[in-house]
Structure 1
């Protein structure tokens, strides 16, 4: 709608969105289409590359491991992010500024820097091992680095802001009058939270979960630096096929399988939950 109150026509809206669609087509759609073409057309028209992905148990294990880590990271991120988002809605003044700064601070550094910091913390003589020995939990350094646990912990830390902000946006849109009304009707604080606050915040929870889950599926830097070659994820496998074996058609087939999987998840969520509700819209 324009500043004078008149609505913009459909053609005007389309023209305004044209640069965005052109950019998305150039940097996202075209590379994906090109990769999918490579997977079935090189060196000759065939679906053998997809057959290798689906028939080889090693590659199937990598896909299942990637799915499991993405689900685990999403669950842990939600578990730690909801209390932070809830505290942000209740905090005021300097406390709110401090919490917001802690949430936004990771955006001021790259994923590589944050992953390297976790590598320093989790190394054999790192701060975590020193703390475990100081408290008497272990008698000698334990192997924390280059494990699946290290990947999950670091990915959870990196992706927490992407969960906190949608939940915070949903919680802010909930009127405090709802909780007061529940209290007046005799509901305890815990029951009011379960039956009022939590259901109304589900759009933020779902949008944050989708964002974290889909991002975790394609995560590369953190698994490559903190994980072991025996427990690689699909993004690391794709990189290996491109850089080491130079098998572009097979790497493209891996991308095609992952793209199909992500598309199916997106369709399922779009059928289950309306898009405008995920974005915090009202009925």
Structure 2
């Protein structure tokens, strides 16, 4: 049921809804502010918002609903600074309501803090595994003349960058976080453009990818990425950032299977086209990830 304004109509009248919002934002208790964010539809925008709001000490919990493009912020004090920061991100964020936090929302603060250490440990393992896979697959890809392995290694690099940024974010200012994110984005951009250029070069001048090495290295990577899935599975419901990490690892498994399939097709057909196709797909994925990271603002 909507409220009706009992004040006389006129230019100086203040809508009751606005008055209620202002009162709640000025209070000193814990509040839940709900935002509609029309352009928040993937983990990249979620990370962008986390980076932007990390410096707000009054924020207790961020709850993301990507499918419904909805953000809930549990916070102390005024909501206006939070709204102002979200507005600068260009995601169309608009404040829907602010209400007193219920006990379950406040309890979520403790639950989030308790699981932070465990999540950090898992992220360190994921970072280490993906960093090693990047080096191994890049080296093997160059030796085996396989753009598929090179592209897959870049995907691992992109994941390692994401996990590293998540760990680096702790205790650093938003400006430093965004600077680190942009550095990772630039590196990803350079590598992605490089592998796509290599695909074009090998398409024009030809190449002879070693299918056996492609399949062997991709199989090892498949085992490693499956291990990542097992590590993160216990945290996949713990928060949007951990859900996103689970999705990254699941995507890695899919790419591993793609490289194995491409290797088999190379051996069967005697052409390099399957390798070039999977290399292009992986390169485009990393290129898009770099674009999103470089779009982050402080």
TM-score range, shorter chain: under 0.3
Which structure's residues are more often helix, by fraction? 1
Higher relative contact order (CA 8 A, sep 6+): 1
TM-score (norm: length of structure 1): 0.26
Which structure's residues are more often strand, by fraction? 2
TM-score (norm: length of structure 2): 0.25
